[in-house]
Amino acid sequence: MTFGIISAMTEELELLLKEMNIEEKTTKANMTFYKGTLGDKNIIAVVCGIGKVNAAICSQILISEYKVSSIINVGVAGGIGKDIYPGDVVIGTDLVEHDMDTSAFGDPVGQIPRLDTFSFKCDENLVKAALNAANEIKEINSFTGRIVSGDQFIANIDKIKWLSETFDAISCEMEGASIAHVCYLNNIPCVVIRSISDNANNGAHMDYEKFMPIAIRNSTTILKNMLKTL
């Protein structure tokens, strides 16, 4: 069993890489794939870059070339809703690409046209394992629910309201749904674990800088604890 671990940015993966026993480093599609182990688990860890295209390319390489058995996406995200604060952790139950819009043809916004699913589900066992790992750390509040992704940094209160009302989303980021989409097409289990860096409101870019370190610490801690149980 090999776990593919994707983060969008170097900062999001560096705590994990520090603890990983790295055996091999390979660059493909301008992305560095770190092959090695963490405890007794085989891992390929990679920084994919920001946005849905980078995340999709990276996921397909992990599946086709590294033959990973599942993909875990970790990093930071914007929180949606007044009860979710920076540092909290969200675990995706399913994901939607919020910027996909063929509503002119009568499709709901978010629906990939001609695909037999609206949202991309995370693997139930991986979600459970992530939630159990999160629940063991009393200082971290965790939530499960729908995460939406798009090629947009959300920093607007009206947009958050729209994401909440349209998708019933608890969090927004820029890669998770794309990773889950690729996993769906390849029938590979995945889970998205994100820690909140901001509330996607008008000051989001400032909160993002401030809370990023704690958010990364929290998502990495949960990932490490979760891997021990798999």
Cross-strand partners of 90? 143, 194
Query: Which 191-220 residues touch ligand ADE, going by CB under 6 A?
Result: 197-198, 200, 204, 208
Which single residue brings its beta carbon nearest to ligand ADE?
A: 78
* 211 neighbors 197 (Cβ within 8 angstroms): yes
* 89 neighbors 140 (Cβ within 8 angstroms): yes
The identity of residue 189, as a single letter, is P
Of 124 and 209, the one with the shorter C-beta distance to ligand ADE is 209
Q: Output the CA torsion sign for 102, 161, 209, 73.
A: negative
Considering the rule CB under 6 A, would residue 172 count as an interface residue with ligand ADE? yes
| Burial of 89 per CB tally in 10 Å (0-12, 13-18, 19+) | buried
Among 4, 78, 87, 176, binds ligand ADE (CB under 6 A): 78
Q: Tell me the closest approach of the beta carbon of residue 78 to ligand ADE, in angstroms.
A: 3
Q: Is 99 a catalytic residue?
A: no
Report the helix count and the strand count for the chain, using DSSP H and E: 6, 10
Binding-residue pattern over the window 119 to 158 for ligand ADE, x denoting contact by CB under 6 A? ----------------------------------xxx---
Which entry of 11, 12, 23, 123 is annotated as an active-site residue?
Answer: 12
Q: Tell me the closest approach of the beta carbon of residue 185 to ligand ADE, in angstroms.
A: 23
b/e sequence 12-45, b meaning 16+ C-beta within 10 Å: bbebbbeebeeeeeeeeeebebbbbebeebebbb
Considering the rule CB under 6 A, would residue 174 count as an interface residue with ligand ADE? yes
Q: Tell me the closest approach of the beta carbon of residue 212 to ligand ADE, in angstroms.
A: 8
Q: Tell me the closest approach of the beta carbon of residue 72 to ligand ADE, in angstroms.
A: 17
Query: Which 79-118 residues touch ligand ADE, going by CB under 6 A?
Result: none
The identity of residue 154, as a single letter, is I
Q: Is 12 a catalytic residue?
A: yes
Q: Tell me the closest approach of the beta carbon of residue 207 to ligand ADE, in angstroms.
A: 8
Contacts with ligand ADE, residue ranges (CB under 6 A): 76-78, 153-155, 172-174, 197-198, 200, 204, 208
Q: Could you give the residue numbers annotated as active site? A: 12, 198
